[in-house]
Structure 1
Amino acid sequence: MRASRLVSLLLLLQTKGRMTASALASELEVSVRTIYRDVESLHAAGVPLYGDAGPTGGYQLLDGYRTRLTGLTEQEAESLFLAGLPGAAADLGLGDAVAAAQLKLMAALPSPMRDRASRMATRFHLDAPSWYYDSERSPLLEVVADAVWRERTIEVGYRRWRAPEDVTRTLRPLGLVLKAGRWYLVAQGSSARISTYRVAQIQSVEVLEPFDRPAGFDLAAHWAASLEEFQARQHTGTAVVRLSARGWEVFDSHVLPVVAKAAAESVVEDGGGFRVTIPIESVAHATGMLLRLGGEVEVLEPAELREQVTAAVRRLAELYLG
Structure 2
Amino acid sequence: MKRCAACIRMLQLLRSRGFMTREELAQELDTNVRNILEYRKELEEAGYVIEGTTGKYGGYQLKSGTLLPVAGLYEEELRSLQESRRYLESHRDFLPYATYCRAIDKFLATTTLQVRESGVYVEESADVTGAMISMIRICEQGRDALFAVELQYKSLHASDFETIVIQPYEIINVKGSYYCLAYSLKARAYRNFKFSEERMRNVRLTRRPFVRDADFHIRDYIGKTGLIRDEIIELKLYVYGESARLISEKKPGISPVLEWVDEQTLYLTTMMEGRISARNFLLSLGNQCQLVSPQDLKQEIHAIAKDMLALYS
> Structure 1 length as normaliser, TM-score?
0.49
Percent identical among aligned pairs is: 13
Structure showing the higher helix proportion among its residues: 1
Question: SS of the counterpart of 1:186?
Answer: strand
Residue of structure 2 equivalent to 1:73: none
Distance in 2 (alpha carbons) for counterparts of 1:308 and 1:140? 41
Residue of structure 2 equivalent to 1:105: 107
Equivalent residues of 1:188, 1:195 under 8 A apart: yes
Give 1:155 deviation, angstroms: 0.9
TM-aligned CA distance change 1:231 to 1:252, over 3 Å? farther
Residue of structure 1 equivalent to 2:288: 296
Listed one character per residue, the Cα deviations across residues 187-232 of structure 1 (whole Å, up to 9, x for unaligned) are 122276322211223212121123222326454x456557578353
TM-aligned CA distance change 1:295 to 1:195, over 3 Å? closer
> Structure 2 length as normaliser, TM-score?
0.51
Equivalent residues of 1:158, 1:169 under 8 A apart: yes
After TM superposition, the structure 1 = structure 2 runs for residues 1-322 of structure 1, keeping only pairs within 5 Å, are: 84=85, 85=88, 87=92, 91=95, 95=98, 97-107=99-109, 109-110=110-111, 112-113=112-113, 115-116=114-115, 119=116, 122-124=117-119, 131=124, 134-137=126-129, 138=132, 139-190=134-185, 193-200=189-196, 201-209=199-207, 210-215=209-214, 217-219=216-218, 221-222=219-220, 225=223, 230=228, 232-233=230-231, 240-244=236-240, 246-251=242-247, 257-258=252-253, 261=254, 264-265=256-257, 269=261, 273-276=265-268, 286=279, 289-290=281-282, 292-300=284-292, 302=295, 304-305=299-300, 307-308=302-303, 311=306
The root-mean-square deviation of aligned C-alpha atoms, in Å, is: 4.6
TM-aligned CA distance change 1:88 to 1:305, over 3 Å? closer
Give 1:152 deviation, angstroms: 1.7
Give 1:295 deviation, angstroms: 4.3
Distance in 2 (alpha carbons) for counterparts of 1:154 and 1:250? 45
TM-aligned CA distance change 1:285 to 1:157, over 3 Å? same
TM-aligned CA distance change 1:226 to 1:184, over 3 Å? farther
Distance in 2 (alpha carbons) for counterparts of 1:309 and 1:100? 51
Give 1:283 deviation, angstroms: 9.6
- In the comparison of the two structures, how many residue pairs are matched? 216
Question: SS of the counterpart of 2:230?
Answer: helix
Larger radius of gyration: 1
Equivalent residues of 1:299, 1:306 under 8 A apart: no
Question: SS of the counterpart of 1:143?
Answer: helix
Give 1:279 deviation, angstroms: 6.3
Equivalent residues of 2:184, 2:191 under 8 A apart: yes
TM-aligned CA distance change 1:310 to 1:271, over 3 Å? farther
Distance in 1 (alpha carbons) for counterparts of 2:149 and 2:283? 45
Question: SS of the counterpart of 2:151?
Answer: strand
Residue of structure 1 equivalent to 2:48: none
Listed one character per residue, the Cα deviations across residues 75-131 of structure 1 (whole Å, up to 9, x for unaligned) are xxxxx9xx8546456x36x83x44543443344x14x14x35xx4xx345777x7x4
TM-aligned CA distance change 1:305 to 1:125, over 3 Å? same
Give 1:183 deviation, angstroms: 1.3
Equivalent residues of 1:299, 1:305 under 8 A apart: no
Which consecutive residues of structure 1, in runs of 5 or more, have no partner in the other structure?
A: 1-79
